[in-house]
Structure 1
Amino acid sequence: MSRDIKDQVISEIKAAQFGLLALQLDESTDVSSCSQLLVFVRYVNAGEFKEEFLFCSPLETTTRGEDITRKVTHNEEGLSWENVWGVCTDEAPAMLGSKSGFAARLKEVAFGVTVTHCMIHCQALASRTLPKELHAILNTAIKIVNYVKSMPVNSRLFKELCKVLDSKHQVLLFYTKVRWLSKGNVLSRVFELREELKIYLDMQGKESIFFSAPVFEPRLAYLVDVFDQLNKLNLKLQGKDKTVIHFVDSLHAFIAKIQNWVRKINAGNSAMFENFCEVVEGEKELDPCLQNEIINHLQNLGQEFSRYFPGLESIDLSFIADPFNTEPDSVPDPDQDEYLEMKFDSGVECLQKDISVQEFWAQISASYRRIDKRALKTLLPSSSTYLCESGFSVLLQIKTKPRNHLEVEDDMRCALSTVLPRFDEVVDKKQVHPSH
């Protein structure tokens, strides 16, 4: 079945519009300490964008750029890597190294390739900035969680206390640094169970240690609110079939929110932070020190987003997102005549109203090839390694400790591919078992 799925995918790639394809790839270590390289491919076939599993292959020795390049470019399927138009991966030196990384080596055979650092990863990195006062609150929350969950008896006692108090939750969540949403989820659970934690820690004689920080609760409430917003942004960036337009729009909106929050906090208005507003309710005005901490944090957060997403404001995708309400100057000179022909084609305009941006550009190549190819070169490259990350989750389920010697590529292809096997052809190729 895996071989048949692979044959179908390779055939579709070879027949892709304009021969263009884009890759997203990442590397991770499985349960047997073997490094696995996971590669997905994105292309346009039969008038629709497709994202498919390409291969999963172990890196037997080292994980350098040359090892990754060898795995990707040396294939038996006869794919033309000169047509690779986009590559998305993480910022590991083996991937994005300027001299010997995979991206640099790929550019030697794919001259027009665009290399992108996963935008979800960039968002997670930009979200790490915290002033020392707020970072101390985060560390305190983590210490509280670790104290309660460090011993099974503590966890059981706290759970029973939550049951008696009829709490919404009964357990705390461990903080895991490598998980994108962990920080926000841990803080949210600590805040929701803060009264129960006060009672429990008081019974243990620990409350003065953990809750003695000045304005602890308002600071904790603010962290819960701001990380909730960051988690929402992260979740919005996740998912299949996302184009650069979606990422740019989401990031523009979030940066505008940060600027609005700074303006509101400067005016003493905290209504946009629900939990924080609830905690400070009744106070005539915000504590000046806390107000400055929040403003500094939000300003630094905005600066970090600008650093990790340079040139975001200058990106103009208007002619792709809304081609019939754009000026010709937004299109390069050689393509403007064809663009104007398309703009005043009423049939094409009606088509654009009923389908998504991706579907529209995937379906008009027969009539407007030049402008369509330019749009596909922008829409095709992946902006995140979401498929790889979700693929590694599947790998954890397939390759377990009892099955640690398993060769996983065929199983991964059957689990992750959207292409169905042609069962009739698979069966026809098998010899019927004779009777005894």
Structure 2
Amino acid sequence: MKIARKEKDFFKRKADELKRQKLDATGSFQEKRGNIVEASYRVAYLVARKKKPHTIAEELILPCAKEMVRLVHGVEAAQKLSDVSLSNNTIQRIIGDMSGDVKDQIIEEIKASPIFAIQADESTDVAMACQLLVYCRYLFKAIIKEEFLCCQNLETSSTATDVMNAVSSFFDKLTSMNTELHLAYLVDIFEIFNQLNLRLQGKDSNLLSHCDSIHALLAKLELCKKRVSVGKFMMFPSLNEVLADGQLSSTLSKEIMDHLSQLDDEFRCYFPDLSPQHAGLAKNPFLCQVDDVLEDAQGEFIELIHDSTAKNVFPSNSLSSFWCSMMESYPKISDLAVRVLLPFASTYLCESGFSSLLAIKTKSRNKLSVEDDLRCALAATEPRIHELVAQKQPQKSH
């Protein structure tokens, strides 16, 4: 037989070939290819989270990675990174895959939630295109979860009216008054508004906390009026410092009083109802009376306020965490409370989202369809990279 006359090296080569095929069959090589694809996904996800251009992966990240590996592990190890696909098109495609996966997860979570709320706002990007951002808030695993939902192009732009214009009317009177004193007063007033603005910002805010802040402002304005009426200005430190003899003219005092009254009226006009229904129940059920609760939920309410376990955990949990944890045991009462806590109280998330949008969609990237990048950058839900990788095959950068 011809095979009997083959050299020993022939059989050795065949044995090595069979070993390689066997390794591939058992998944060793397949695992390596999967790691290569996963590396592409991990880099793409980091690019999206950091809101960087897609080209940075191939132009900067890959060369830097190769150089570090070369210095630490040698040229051969560094060359293996060439198998990781990080081209501009690859990064864009992967970000689209991850965005779709995150979107699917969020939609499924919203469907599973008994109730949800949305926040929407619009702005114009660098390409003068009107962009609509939408966030959602819903129940998920015993918490109220906030998530980026979508970014959509609008064919036309629109502007919102100002929530309050009382301050602007005060500037019209500056020419007839002592400018230094008025500027000092305005510094103090804007400091009060800045403090309010900070309290109204941030994630996980709700109507209760915002109502408390607005109530505090109205009470502060009332106190300011009382003190100004008797010539006391300790609530206006800048104005108090500028006053040489601690006295203010009756004309200027009246102007300040009128302005404070105008501010009070404007706030009450824009926020006519500062006590949401069932606010007391949501804030602290153990301080409420049975008559404060809807009749069909009163029996359940009595059980809750006599539940020593619930009473013990209430002080150590946030309102949203507490009520979400009570949903199964006390569904009717919890539903009333969650409906107070769930709605968005401001457009803070959308406003911060627009900052991210402008960071991503720069003048040099003004043709970019930004939704996928924005979802990967802003969503709290992470893409299921292992599942996505299992569906893909690796390919080298070109």
Q: Normalized against structure 2, the TM-score is what?
A: 0.71
Question: Which aligned pairs between 1:16-415 and structure 2 lie closer than 5 A?
Answer: 16=113, 19-59=114-154, 61-62=155-156, 122=163, 125=164, 127-128=166-167, 130-131=169-170, 134-137=171-174, 214-283=177-246, 285-312=247-274, 317-415=279-377
Q: In structure 1, what is the equivalent of residue 390 of structure 2?
A: 428
Cα pair 2:278 2:293 within 8 Å, conserved = no
Aligned-partner SS, 1:128: helix
| Residue 389 of structure 1, CA deviation | 0.8
| Residue 316 of structure 1, CA deviation | 5.8
Cα pair 2:201 2:348 within 8 Å, conserved = yes
Aligned-partner SS, 1:55: strand
| Residue 227 of structure 1, CA deviation | 0.9
Which of 10, 33, 39 is equivalent to 2:107? Answer: 10
Alpha-carbon separation, structure 2, partners of 1:314 and 1:14:
26
Q: In structure 2, what is the equivalent of residue 114 of structure 1?
A: none
| Residue 129 of structure 1, CA deviation | 5.2
- Could you list the runs of 5+ residues in structure 2 that have no partner in the other structure? 1-97
Cα pair 1:129 1:304 within 8 Å, conserved = no
Alpha-carbon separation, structure 1, partners of 2:282 and 2:305:
12
User: What is the one-letter code of the residue matched to 1:274?
Assistant: P
Alpha-carbon separation, structure 2, partners of 1:277 and 1:288:
15
| Residue 366 of structure 1, CA deviation | 0.7
Aligned-partner SS, 1:130: helix
Shift of the 38–314 alpha-carbon distance from structure 1 to 2, 3 Å rule, reads closer
Alpha-carbon separation, structure 2, partners of 1:421 and 1:347:
37
Cα pair 1:126 1:305 within 8 Å, conserved = no
User: What is the one-letter code of the residue matched to 1:261?
Assistant: C
Alpha-carbon separation, structure 1, partners of 2:104 and 2:356:
22
| Residue 232 of structure 1, CA deviation | 1.1
Shift of the 315–282 alpha-carbon distance from structure 1 to 2, 3 Å rule, reads farther
Instruction: Using the TM superposition, name which of 30-39 and 360-369 deviates more.
Output: 30-39
Shift of the 313–44 alpha-carbon distance from structure 1 to 2, 3 Å rule, reads closer
Cα pair 1:262 1:298 within 8 Å, conserved = yes
Shift of the 352–420 alpha-carbon distance from structure 1 to 2, 3 Å rule, reads same
Shift of the 314–54 alpha-carbon distance from structure 1 to 2, 3 Å rule, reads closer
Greater RCO structure (CA 8 Å; 6+ sep)? 2
Aligned-partner SS, 1:234: helix
| Residue 374 of structure 1, CA deviation | 1.4
Output one character per residue of 1:220-260: Cα deviation in whole Å (capped at 9) or x when no partner.
10011011101110111011110100010000000000000
Alpha-carbon separation, structure 2, partners of 1:280 and 1:289:
15
Alpha-carbon separation, structure 2, partners of 1:292 and 1:426:
68
Output one character per residue of 1:380-402: Cα deviation in whole Å (capped at 9) or x when no partner.
11111111111111111111111
Alpha-carbon separation, structure 2, partners of 1:381 and 1:130:
32
Alpha-carbon separation, structure 1, partners of 2:224 and 2:253:
12
| Residue 377 of structure 1, CA deviation | 1.4
- Could you list the runs of 5+ residues in structure 1 that have no partner in the other structure? 65-89, 93-120, 141-212
| Residue 313 of structure 1, CA deviation | 5.8
Cα pair 1:127 1:230 within 8 Å, conserved = no
Q: Determine which structure has the larger helix proportion and give its number.
A: 2
| Residue 126 of structure 1, CA deviation | 5.3
Cα pair 1:342 1:368 within 8 Å, conserved = yes
User: Which structure is larger by alpha-carbon Rg, 1 or 2?
Assistant: 2
Alpha-carbon separation, structure 2, partners of 1:314 and 1:352:
21
- Identity value in percent: 43
User: What is the one-letter code of the residue matched to 2:340?
Assistant: T
| Residue 432 of structure 1, CA deviation | 2.9
User: What is the one-letter code of the residue matched to 1:252?
Assistant: H
| Residue 130 of structure 1, CA deviation | 3.4
Alpha-carbon separation, structure 2, partners of 1:228 and 1:3:
43
Output one character per residue of 1:12-52: Cα deviation in whole Å (capped at 9) or x when no partner.
11222xx2111001122211121111111100110011110
Alpha-carbon separation, structure 2, partners of 1:329 and 1:91:
41
Alpha-carbon separation, structure 1, partners of 2:127 and 2:294:
52
User: What is the one-letter code of the residue matched to 1:14?
Assistant: K
Q: Does 1:416 align with 2:372?
A: no
Alpha-carbon separation, structure 1, partners of 2:362 and 2:392:
30
| Residue 263 of structure 1, CA deviation | 0.3
User: What is the one-letter code of the residue matched to 2:235?
Assistant: M
| Residue 375 of structure 1, CA deviation | 1.2
Shift of the 425–319 alpha-carbon distance from structure 1 to 2, 3 Å rule, reads same
Shift of the 267–315 alpha-carbon distance from structure 1 to 2, 3 Å rule, reads farther
Q: In structure 2, what is the equivalent of residue 208 of structure 1?
A: none
